[in-house]
Amino acid sequence: MWTRRNNLAYLHSKVLRLFLDLPYFTISQSIKKANLEKKKSLLNFGSGPVQHYNLSFAEEMTSLDLVEKADFKSLQEMNDKKTFDYIICFEVLEHCEHPEEVLRSLSHFLKREGKILISTPLNARFHPSPKDFHRFTPDSIYSLAKLTELHVDEIIQRGSNLTTIANKIIYLFFYLLLKPKSALFAVLFMPLTFILLILAHLDLFIFKKSWGDDPIGYFYVLSQTKHDQKIP
């Protein structure tokens, strides 16, 4: 069901989400590319409903979210002695005014050989939830990792220049569609929208490594610092 908030995250069909929601699709694709080892525990930190993601690399999940129904509402509620093999933080850091403090706090709940999986947008509309503070590049994540004594194990680019263009056109299309005065224009705009969608998916499937320097965002795998890491 569509809502006037025009937020693709509310699509209930996984097939529709995979096709229409390119940020979601690129996160799902990045999880597969990361080739994560199956372990026991996972903390979902503020990533909202994740039932559409393939999180089979963890046997059990604990959730923490300020808005969605969750096991905990804050890190302070959790037992400091409880640690996790994986912590997922999908599309969250941009909403945190002090991301360094967030990462430092999360690292306290990470097992010695654990991983923090982070996705961040680079090209995304302004989406306060409740605030929207940042856009992160790989350089900024390297810097945050150094400050919080974490190690950047892997960086996966989410999509390409074409994916970014298609994503912006999709949001524009649904924005126009949900406004009575511009709905007709949206209908005329529909062929271009779906052509770009198809091209974006072909691009994501054909190219093993994303090209261009203007992706939708990035996916990062972080771990406890094993040695000094220089920012590239």
Dump pLDDT digits (tens) for 8-53: 444 446 667 777 889 999 999 999 999 999 999 999 999 888 877 8
| Residue range 166-194, pLDDT digits in tens | 999 999 998 898 888 888 888 888 999 99
Specify the 3-state DSSP secondary structure of 120. Answer: strand
Question: Across the strands, what pairs with 219?
Answer: 119, 156
Q: What is the overall mean pLDDT for the chain?
A: 87
Please tell me which of 20-24, 49-53, 57-61, 76-80 the model is most confident about, judged by mean pLDDT: 57-61
Contact (CB, 8 A) for 91 and 119: yes
Give pLDDT, residue 13: 60
Residue 5: CB atoms within 10 Å: 10
Give pLDDT, residue 9: 46
3 confidence band (pLDDT: 50, 70, 90): very low
Give the Å distances, CA to CA, from 141 to 1, 29, 39, 76, 223: 36, 20, 25, 25, 13
**Is the model's pLDDT at 206 over the cut of 90?**
no
Residue with the bigger pLDDT between 81 and 192: it is 192
Give pLDDT, residue 106: 95
pTM, 2 dp: 0.87
Give pLDDT, residue 231: 53
Residue with the bigger pLDDT between 210 and 41: it is 41
| Residue range 115-134, pLDDT digits in tens | 999 999 999 888 887 899 99
| Dist. CA 15–CA 164, nearest whole Å | 20
Give the CATH fold of the 8-14+26-160+214-224 domain. Rossmann fold (3.40.50)
Residue with the bigger pLDDT between 50 and 95: it is 95
Element (H, E) at 16: helix 14-20
Give pLDDT, residue 1: 34
